[in-house]
Amino acid sequence: MAVEYLGEKIFLQEIKASGEIWVARSSHRNIYAVQIDHSGFSLPVWSCDWRVAEFLKNARLVGPKYEPHAVSLEVFTAAWLSDQGMAIAELQINPDGRSTRVLVMMPDELRAAQGQM
């Protein structure tokens, strides 16, 4: 079984159990994301608050201070992923901030996986 598959499976189990997905949000209420082209963003998401905190400690981001912020899984899937203004092209699953390698999931893959949970 591939490490990527296990990472995705664990992530999905954890967000299902908690009913939340975590993002990094600044004091200005901006969500940390990486622009991948002119029409979309790669949004890092985590399965728990301590994973976000670990990322923030290791990533050494410049600019406003970011902190872990929980979003209900239902709201994230129904509103965030459907909002064209947010332009979420892909999701980075549990990045640690130390490695440039990251597990990527497309928004449609997350929706499909939720239907199977």
Q: What is the 3-state secondary structure (H, E, C) of the chain?
A: CCHHHHHHHHHHHHHHHHCEEEEEEECCCCECCEEEECCEEEEEEECCHHHHHHHHHHHCCCCCCEEEEEEEHHHHHHHHCCCCCCCEEEEEECCCCCCCCCEEECHHHHHHHHHHC
pTM (2 d.p.): 0.90
pLDDT band at 4 (very low <50, low <70, confident <90, very high): low
How large is the angle between the packed helices 3-18 and 107-116, nearest 10 degrees?
70
Per CATH, which fold does 3-116 belong to? Trna Endonuclease; Chain: A, domain 1 (3.40.1350)
Q: What's the whole-number mean pLDDT along residues 15-22? A: 96
How is the chain split into domains, by residue range? 3-116
User: Is a pLDDT exceeding 60 seen at residue 106?
Assistant: yes
Are 49 and 70 within 8 A, CB to CB?
yes
CA separation, residue 63 to residues 25, 36, 83, 87 (Å): 12, 19, 25, 22
Which residue, chain included where needed, has tokens 């992530």? 11
pLDDT digits (tens, 9 = 90+) for 27-63: 889 999 999 988 799 999 999 999 999 999 998 887 8
User: CA-CA distances (angstroms) from residue 15 to 18, 58, 60, 85?
Assistant: 5, 23, 26, 24
